Structures are given as structure tokens and as C-alpha cells.
Amino acid sequence: MRMPSLSHRRGFARKDPFLALYVPVFIEQVVATLTTMLGTILVSGVGATAVSSVGLVDSINLFIVYTLNAVATAVTVTIAHKIGAKDNRQAGSLAGQSLVFTAEAAIAIGLALALSGRWLLNSLFRGAEAKVLEAAAPYLLISALTLPLQAIYATSAGIMRASGNARTPMLATMLANLVYIGVSSWCIKRLGLGVMGAGIGLAASRLVSCGTVLTILFRGHGGVPIPRLRLRPDLSVLAPMFRIALPVGQDSALFNGGKLVVQVFMSAMGTAAMAANAIANSLFCILELPGVSMAIVCMTMTGQSFGAGDLNDTKRHMRRFMLLSAAVLTVSSALMLPFLRPLIGLYDPNAETAILARRVMLLPMLLVPLLWPPAFVAPYLLRAVGDARFTMRVTLVSMFAVRVGCSWFFGVFLNWGLNGIWVAMVLDWLVRGAFFVPRMLSSAWQRGRAIPVKEDQPAVQPGA
């Protein structure tokens, strides 16, 4: 059985394949981000200590989840390549083996985090107040134990999106986030569980999202046929995925590891600074939603074009996604800027926290349309064509030389506090984009890389 390419699948012939992918991915990201925002608002009603403790745990969560999501990214790219090359059998085998590998790796990491969580919090954030660390410990435990559910969901969603099925992950996310808000609200407001209530809501939502996508995937509606699974991963099948997952995983670990180091600097700046940072991060996630959705979609469409051996179409997709990302982020920033003050007010912060959150948001809001697409969409485009090692090397240099180094220099040495940390973040965007965009526009990503070739056109040598 041969699966038709994205542009010829049923339903896509009648509408723009970009919109068919982008709209559900965007809705999914909006729902997930708004839910996170509402969760932060619910926790903020308990006090600044609760917001700060959730922010500390989330910095650890992001490091681990995004590192594991390297598998989901690699699965999306490699399956998109197989579908573009019309190799449906290999796509299904790769999908099944990826699920097994993800589940086993996430279980091991989750158990290790659960056993070492309290020690990790005390070691990393010794500058934080004792009551903040005490409130963070149970939330981290719940997050660690449910980490496998999140990792399996991310990989399953990557499998579906690679085949053009973005609707199912969207619906699963909507359902899971409704559960999160309902359970968290009940636990926090009715039972008075505070941060623990947010953790219970997180566990419930992860269970629902994972269960939903797995049920649909194994019923044969996920876009690729999943063969019978074996508990022992087949490394020969997983090899193409590992070639992308390893550098992407290192990239993600370096990037989020650097952010974790910055969080350590911030933990010594006081509860007000940590609460302001949590609020600003929550709002910034809304601001960057259109760009994040674009980055997710670009992997499928660019990866399928590359897998089909159509280099002209691949380059056309690259240019198109960069321009579209800048356009949608311009709209997003223009819409949020007039409402920034009331949006911060939704979190019910004290005066010091509100002023600080608004101050640190202004610079990135103004520069996000210009600097964010080169820094974050361009590397996704490079990964879609297999150029993941280059993005990893740039991340290593930029994250630690610019974001971590400048965060310490501006935020700690010059005593700019939280303002200095956000200035360093914008400088990091600038440096990343200065490397990624020239690489994307040149033919350097083709060199030394096996490029699939369409059956009706002559072979093209890499870098020709």
C-alpha cells in the first residue's frame, strides 16, 4: 500500500494544504497556551509563593519535556520524508518503534526525576525562599510520574502531523485542557490544595491527551499503519530517526539547560522577580503562538517536499514560512500591545510584580516579528531537511556565550535584575538568526546529504 503525498490526500485537493495543517495546529497551540495561562491565573490566586514555585518546576519540566520532544521532532521529519518518498510501510514501522523507544526512555527519566526531585530543587534553587521550594516539591513529583504520558502524546502527535493529520492532536489537546482547567479549578478553589491542585490537574490532562491519541493511532486513523509492537526497540528501523533526534535532542538540552541556568540566577532575585517572570513568560507564550504553529507546520510540508526530491519546492517552502512567520507575529504583537496592562492584571499581581512584568515584556514585543522567525523558524526548516547538527552547534555557542553569559553580566554583575535577563534573551535571538538565515538561504544544507530524487527527474548531487 502506498500513501499519497500530502497535497493529493483526500480533502487536501479541495483546499490549501498549508491552511489544512496550520489552522488546527494554531488552534491546538492557542488552547494549550490559554490553558497554561488560566492555570497560572488560578495558582496566582493562592499568592506569589505559589506562582514562583510553579515557575521553578516548569523550568525543570521544560528542560526534560523539550529534550524528549526531540524524538517527536525527529519522528515528524523522518516520517514526512518517507511519506514524501511514498514509502508507507517504512513510515509505519518507524512510527511504532518510535513509540516504544519514547515510552521506555520517558519512564526511566520520570522515575529518576521523581526520586531526586527534592534534592534537585534544593541544589539548583538554593537562593529561593524555603516556602517556595516546599510548595514546588509535590508539584514536581506529580509532573515526573506523568512524564511518560506527555512524551508518548508528543510522539503520537508528531506521527499524525507528519502524515497531514493535525486535526486529531488538536481535538485531543482541547479535551485534555478542558480537563486540566476543570480538575485544577476544583482542586485549588474547592479543596484548597494550592500548587498540589495544579499538579493533579496536570496529571489528569496528560492522561486524557495520551489516551486519546493512542486510541486513535492504534485504530488505524492516525495517518500511518502501526505494526505489532515489540518491547525491544529495533535500532535498524530507528536509525534514520536517531540521526535527527540526537542532534535535535542535544540542541534542546543545551537550549533549555541554558534557560535553567538563567532560572538559577533569577531565583536569587526575589519572589517578586520570579513571579513577574512567570507572568511575562505566560503572556509571551501567547504572543509567539502564530510563530510556534508555523514552525510545527513547516517541518511537515518542507520535509515532504525534501523527501519527494523536489529541491525547488523545498526552498520555496523555506522562504514562504519565514515571510509568513514575520507577518503573523507582527499582527500578534500589534494586537497584544494595547492590552498588555489589563492582561497582566488578570494574574492579580502586587504593584511591584505588575510593573516589572510589563517592563520586561515591552522590548521583546517590539522586536519579535523581526528577530523571532530567524531565531526559531529557520532552525525548524533546517531540521526538516536533515541539517540538525548545524542548528545544535549554533545553539551551543549562542545559548551559553550570549544568553547565559549576558544574563549573568546584565542581570547579576550590572544588577539590572530581571530586565537584564530579558535583554540577554533578545540578544540571543539576534545571534541565532545571524547564523541560521544565511545557512538556510545558501545551498550549504545540501552538502554531504543524501537527497531523494523524483522518479521523473535526473539525479541531483548534494550541493550541486
Would you tell me how many other CB atoms lie within 10 Å of the CB of residue 108? 12
Q: Is 462 a domain residue?
A: no
Count the neighbouring beta carbons within 10 Å of the beta carbon of residue 177.
23
Domain extent for 195: 6-446
Residue 163 contacts residue 303 (beta carbons within 8 Å): no
Q: Check residue 222 and give its pLDDT.
A: 67
**59, 295, 446 from 410: Cα distances, Å:** 21, 30, 39
Q: Are 302 and 318 in contact (CB under 8 A)?
A: yes
Residue 144 domain-assigned (yes or no): yes
Listed residue (349, 270, 272, 289) closest to 41, CA to CA: 349
Q: Quick one: cell of 72?
A: 517527536
Whether this prediction's pTM lies above 0.75 is answered by no
Q: Which residue has the cell 485531543?
A: 172
Residue 455 falls within a domain, yes or no? no
Tell me phi and psi for residue 346, to 5 degrees: -60, -25
Close Cβ partners of 336 (under 8 Å, ≥ 6 residues apart): 283, 286, 287, 343, 365
Q: Is residue 388 part of a domain?
A: yes
Is residue 377 in a domain?
Answer: yes
Cβ–Cβ under 8 Å, residues 398 and 429: no
> Is 464 inside a domain boundary?
no
Give how far Cα 319 sits from Cα of 210, 296, 378, Å: 34, 15, 9
Compute the C-alpha angle 35/37/39, nearest 5°: 70
Question: Letter for the amino acid at 319?
Answer: R
Amino acid at 120: L
Instruction: Kindly state whether residue 451 falls inside one of the protein's structural domains.
Output: no
What residue type is assigned to position 423 of the chain? Answer: V
DSSP-derived letter for residue 104 is H
Number of domains in the chain: 1
Tell which residue, 202, 186, 191, 195, has the closest CA to residue 52: 195
Residue 158 lies in a domain: yes
Region of 463 on the Ramachandran plot (φ > 0 left; ψ -120 to 50 alpha; else beta) = left
Helix ranges restricted to H, 125-224: 130-145, 147-162, 167-185, 195-216
Query: Tens-of-pLDDT digits for all 464 residues of the chain?
Result: 333 344 444 444 445 678 888 888 888 888 877 777 777 677 766 667 777 787 778 778 777 877 777 778 888 888 888 887 787 788 888 888 888 888 988 999 999 999 988 898 888 787 777 888 888 888 889 889 999 998 999 899 888 888 888 888 888 988 998 898 899 888 888 887 887 888 898 899 999 999 999 898 888 776 777 777 777 777 777 887 888 778 877 787 788 788 888 888 887 888 888 889 988 988 898 899 899 999 888 888 888 888 888 888 888 989 999 999 999 999 999 999 999 999 999 888 888 999 999 999 999 999 999 999 999 999 999 988 888 889 989 988 999 999 999 999 999 999 999 999 999 999 999 999 999 999 998 877 776 454 454 444 333 332 33
In sequence order, what are the residues at sequence separation of 6 or more whose Cβ sits closer than 8 angstroms to the Cβ of residue 163? Answer: 3, 6, 79, 83, 91, 222, 223, 224
Q: Cell match 484548597: residue?
A: 192
Question: Where do we find the cell 526520586?
Answer: 115
Find out whether 280 and 361 touch, Cβ atoms under 8 Å. yes
